[in-house]
Amino acid sequence: MSELTQERLAAVLGTRPFQYHASLGSSNDIAQGWLREGAEAGAVVIADEQRTGRGRLGRTWYTPPDEALALSLIVRPEPRGLSRISILAALAVAEMCEEIGIDSVRIKWPNDVQIHGRKICGVLPEAVWEGDRLLGVVLGIGVNVRVQFHDAELASRATNLEAAAGRTLDRADLIARLLGRIDVWLPQLMSLDLLNAWRSRLGMLGQMVEVERVRGIAESVDENGALLMRLPDGSLHRALAGDLWLLDDGH
């Protein structure tokens, strides 16, 4: 499958500066270097394969050749918008899926995108500082387009877009759609509209969850995207970040 080529990307990305790598370690690392060298907001690093793709907290992200989207977009938000960047990314991926007719997509707080409870996308925003000055953010997004999982454990928790869509998808077209949705939301980063669009796609509100060893009902989210959990003693707990586990999903 060779639908992701320099020429194809140049055609769909128009004037946007981009780097395309058939294979690299992590697109976030390349984008960080580019950002420090002064790359403009909107510039994007795209990889076909990542050899050492990164998840959060030192975890790995699997990006085999020909099967995925792996990109890192350079954004320059004001510092108070930092906590909204990953919300924006998850929302944009969900909307990209909806645009191509996949309507069963939900966001698992804070920023995994899932189809029927299985992960199709991960988001890794990394702020780049020079002293106390925010140079910008590298927004890493990985999407499983037709990724085949050979690891049984991963296979049970992940899926891909083509399986959900039931047809072959064009990765260059998906990138253009995804960046298009991000471009729509970036100027509205601090808006209530962004928060509401994200909130309306969250998959686990009203359910019993566990975040960082705290268990409670996922009641709501606040304006920073923090999860508000109702604890058994009736108090409200605010989770800012962390991994969420669903406790009453019937499994």
Residues binding ligand BT5 (CB under 6 A): 26-28, 50, 53-57, 59, 61-62, 70-72, 119, 122-124, 140-142, 144, 147, 154, 158
Q: Rounded to the nearest 10 degrees, how much is the dihedral formed by the CA atoms of 108, 51, 138, 172?
A: -80
* Min separation Cβ 31 and ligand BT5, Å: 8
* Min separation Cβ 158 and ligand BT5, Å: 3
Question: How far apart are alpha carbons 197 and 188 in whole angstroms?
Answer: 12
* Min separation Cβ 120 and ligand BT5, Å: 7
**Cβ proximity to ligand BT5, 133 vs 251, nearer residue:** 251
**Cβ proximity to ligand BT5, 12 vs 159, nearer residue:** 159
Per-residue b/e over 174-184, b at no fewer than 16 CB within 10 Å? bbbbbbebbee
**Cβ proximity to ligand BT5, 59 vs 116, nearer residue:** 59
**Cβ proximity to ligand BT5, 8 vs 63, nearer residue:** 63
* Min separation Cβ 95 and ligand BT5, Å: 18
* Min separation Cβ 48 and ligand BT5, Å: 12
Structure tokens at 97: 């899926």
Per-residue b/e over 71-88, b at no fewer than 16 CB within 10 Å? bbbbbbbeeebbbbbbbb
Q: Cα–Cα distances in Å, from 150 out to 51, 77, 147, 154, 159?
A: 16, 38, 9, 8, 12
Q: From the CB of residue 133, how many other CB atoms can be counted at a distance below 10 Å?
A: 8
**Cβ proximity to ligand BT5, 21 vs 119, nearer residue:** 119
Determine the residue with CB nearest ligand BT5: 122
